[in-house]
Amino acid sequence: MKIISPLLTAIALLTAGYALADSQVTVHDLHSQNSLQIDHAQNLAQLVTNPAIHTWWPGTVIAERGATAVAQQQQKQLLADLRTWQADSGDTLAATIGAVIHQLSAIQVTGRQFTALDPDWVRLRPEANRTLQGSYDLYTLPQPNQVLILGALEHPGKASWQPGRTVRDYLDTHDRLSGAERSFATVISPSGQMQQVPVAYWNQRHVEVAPGSIIWLGFTSWSLPWGKADLNARMLSVLTHRIPD
């Protein structure tokens, strides 16, 4: 028994380790609307090197199911708060808030995990090779050639990406609405990273964006309702958890 017991213990520990690291990943092909299931990937390296996955990795999103429920609830609460603000605002500002509500309502959010997914990066850096445990969704996409322009401005939507074009260049084709921020815009990269960019005539900087980025124009701090100074940050959070399309 002294010989067998350590062996059984080792087997039990190994089995437990596999169970703890067990995962189920649903891979969504946003281009074809198809999906496939990948089971038992213990870490990111095993997942992102799977030959069945074809995607543009810089914009690929991996989401944990429990975090998705949280992100969806946060979006729902944000929209409710925006509608309350809209009801207490004058006609012009209320129209702006309504336009922003319309844009944010159309966004599908997920419990995005902000981690590098590039296969080479994950394989070569042990700290990036995160353990997978539980249920996930992986959203794949082809390489984009557009930029999404949203916020308190006229005619929001997609614009063709052009090399050398700056954030201010993209915004110059969109008039600001009442209550819109005039000095800064926020760029959200395909990886979900945010950058505040000066865009007024007095502080503008030459900042270009990657294809697949979002350019967001929020509200000025003075236009926000009392006690709701975090609304701009909450709107940005919804955008960073957006499912790419």
pLDDT tens figures, 12-54: 434 444 445 689 999 999 777 889 999 999 999 999 999 999 9
176-226: per-residue pLDDT in tens?
A: 999 999 999 999 999 999 999 999 999 999 999 999 999 999 999 999 999
Tokens linked to 13: 């520990």
Dump pLDDT digits (tens) for 117-160: 999 999 999 999 999 999 999 999 999 999 999 999 999 999 99
Partnered with residue 46 across adjacent β-strands are none
Separation in Å, CA 35 to CA 45, 76, 221: 20, 26, 42
State the Cα angle at 219 between 215 and 223, rounded to 5°: 175
Burial of 117 (0-12, 13-18, 19+ CB in 10 A): buried
Q: Are 138 and 28 in contact (CB under 8 A)?
A: yes
Model confidence, pTM: 0.89
Asked if the model's pLDDT at residue 228 lies above 60, the reply is: yes
CB-facing half-sphere around the CA of 146: CA atoms within 13 A: 11
Secondary structure of residue 239 in the 3-state scheme: helix
